[in-house]
């Protein structure tokens, strides 16, 4: 499919241009453009920062429609990255090789996701889409950005995919970018979601990127002790504070498991209905995925939001609502609640059906997690003077980057 070029926006002053690959609905793009905003804030008028997303590309035109609706100053290219040349991206963003401050993006995680391990080709790392990592490297090699940020699922670092991962790091090292990688838990950076993602960051000058220190701490699937000097994880209930929502069509969980789901307490899943817990003895122990009939716990962060959940895959809200017959049923999360769990602005607009919206948000990078990684990179690249930092708002003037208090 040839790339489809959309209208070119007007210039946005002296902000540094960014190339966004596999942009989707724009989670990392939002983080780039709002990196100057204070953490955990989504003002209606974002603070101008040092960057602008000059061009964004993705295979899914609908996701790009969403991105364009929220970032109207970005040129979008719809098409297969394997058929989109770097020169085409540079031309669309009015850049030459070496002009871009950053290349950002998360190649589709399907080949490396744990949820795909039931397919032999994914367990054995034979998925042809894994080649999209090579396309990312190709664009970095040819566009020569000052730095890059690559995001993916944690499973990319597993032994199963070691060959792909090592090849990726080797290729980026040969380009002189000295790539550094780390798996980050979104909740440790103020995101009300226990979502793990690996980030790989490299600088053209070869200096090693230093990942930001977590600002929050708390229990997780693999954490039983944590740093009490940090802020506690943001809970789902805290995330929803002040949010007014309206019922959505089809939000109640009906069908075979609707009654069972309504009986499961917040924070529990189908295991509630096994012989070991207090519900009905309906299921064998550990016979389903953890997310089957999973309910949100109000006092904890959410589990990872999935892009394409089955009809009985959670997390579902902790509250029950009556259906037309007056029977209590669990309900699916509403779009404004999904936005809060992804730390997207409340006024973020999405195009498509409810399933389309779930897919776009489930595939996105939580904005605050992206901001944390990008804020650290911005400081280390010297666009702000770390000695004068007295808050986290970064502002770029026409001549240099400065901080305001």
Q: Give the 3-state secondary structure percentages of the chain, helix then strand then coil, rounded to 5.
A: 30, 20, 50
Compute the distance between CA of residue 314 and CA of residue 299 in angstroms, rounded to an integer.
17
Contacts of 393 (CB under 8 A, 6+ apart): 36, 37, 38, 47, 403, 404
Is 109 an active-site residue? yes
Q: Which of 30, 31, 109, 185 is catalytic?
A: 109
Q: Is 40 helix (H, G, I), strand (E, B) or coil?
A: coil
Cα-flanking dihedrals φ and ψ of residue 330, to 5°? Answer: -65, 155
Write the CB contacts of 2 (distance below 8 Å, at least 6 apart in sequence). 79, 83
Q: How far is CA 282 from the centre of its chain?
A: 35
Residue 25, CA atoms < 13 Å, CB-side half-sphere? 24
Distance from the Cα of residue 330 to its chain's centroid: 26
Determine the Cα–Cα distance for residues 69 and 74; give it in Å rounded to an integer.
Answer: 10
Please say whether the beta carbons of 305 and 193 come within 8 A: yes
Residues 319 and 329: their CA atoms lie apart, in Å, by 9
Q: Which residues are annotated as catalytic?
A: 109
């Amino acid at each position: 499919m040839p790339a489809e070029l959309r209208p070119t926006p007007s210039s946005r002053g002296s902000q540094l241009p960014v190339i966004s690959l596999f942009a989707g609905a724009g989670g990392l793009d939002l983080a780039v453009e709002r990196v100057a905003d204070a953490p955990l804030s989504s003002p209606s008028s974002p603070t101008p920062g040092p960057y602008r997303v000059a061009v964004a590309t993705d295979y899914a035109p609908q996701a790009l429609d969403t991105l364009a609706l929220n970032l109207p100053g970005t040129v979008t290219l719809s098409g297969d990255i394997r058929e989109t040349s770097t020169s085409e991206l540079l031309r669309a963003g009015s850049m030459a090789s070496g002009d871009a401050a950053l290349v950002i993006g998360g190649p589709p995680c399907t080949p490396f996701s744990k949820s795909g391990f039931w397919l032999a080709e994914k367990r054995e790392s034979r998925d042809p889409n894994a080649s999209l990592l090579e396309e990312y490297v190709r664009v970095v090699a040819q566009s020569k950005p000052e730095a890059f940020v690559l995001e993916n699922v944690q499973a990319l670092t597993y032994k199963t995919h070691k060959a792909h991962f090592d090849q990726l790091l080797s290729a980026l090292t040969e380009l002189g970018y000295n790539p550094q990688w780390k798996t980050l838990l979104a909740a440790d950076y103020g995101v009300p979601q226990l979502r793990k993602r690996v980030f790989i960051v490299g600088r053209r000058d070869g200096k090693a990127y230093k990942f930001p220190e977590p600002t929050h701490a708390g229990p997780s699937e693999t954490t039983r002790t944590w740093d009490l000097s940090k802020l506690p994880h943001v809970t789902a209930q805290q995330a929803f504070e002040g949010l007014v929502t309206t019922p959505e069509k089809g939000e109640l969980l009906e069908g075979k498991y609707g009654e069972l789901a309504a009986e499961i307490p917040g924070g529990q899943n189908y295991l509630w209905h096994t012989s070991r817990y207090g519900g009905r003895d309906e299921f064998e122990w550990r016979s389903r995925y953890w997310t089957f009939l999973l309910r949100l716990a109000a006092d904890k962060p959410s589990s990872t939001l999935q892009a394409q959940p089955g009809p009985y895959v959670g997390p579902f809200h902790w509250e029950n609502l009556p259906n037309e017959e007056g029977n209590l049923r669990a309900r699916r999360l509403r779009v404004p609640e999904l936005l809060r769990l992804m730390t997207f602005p409340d006024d973020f607009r999405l195009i498509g059906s409810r399933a389309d919206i779930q897919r776009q948000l489930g595939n996105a990078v939580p904005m605050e997690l992206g901001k944390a990684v990008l804020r650290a990179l911005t400081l280390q690249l010297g666009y702000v003077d770390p000695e004068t930092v007295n808050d986290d708002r970064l502002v770029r003037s026409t001549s240099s980057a400065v901080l305001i208090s």
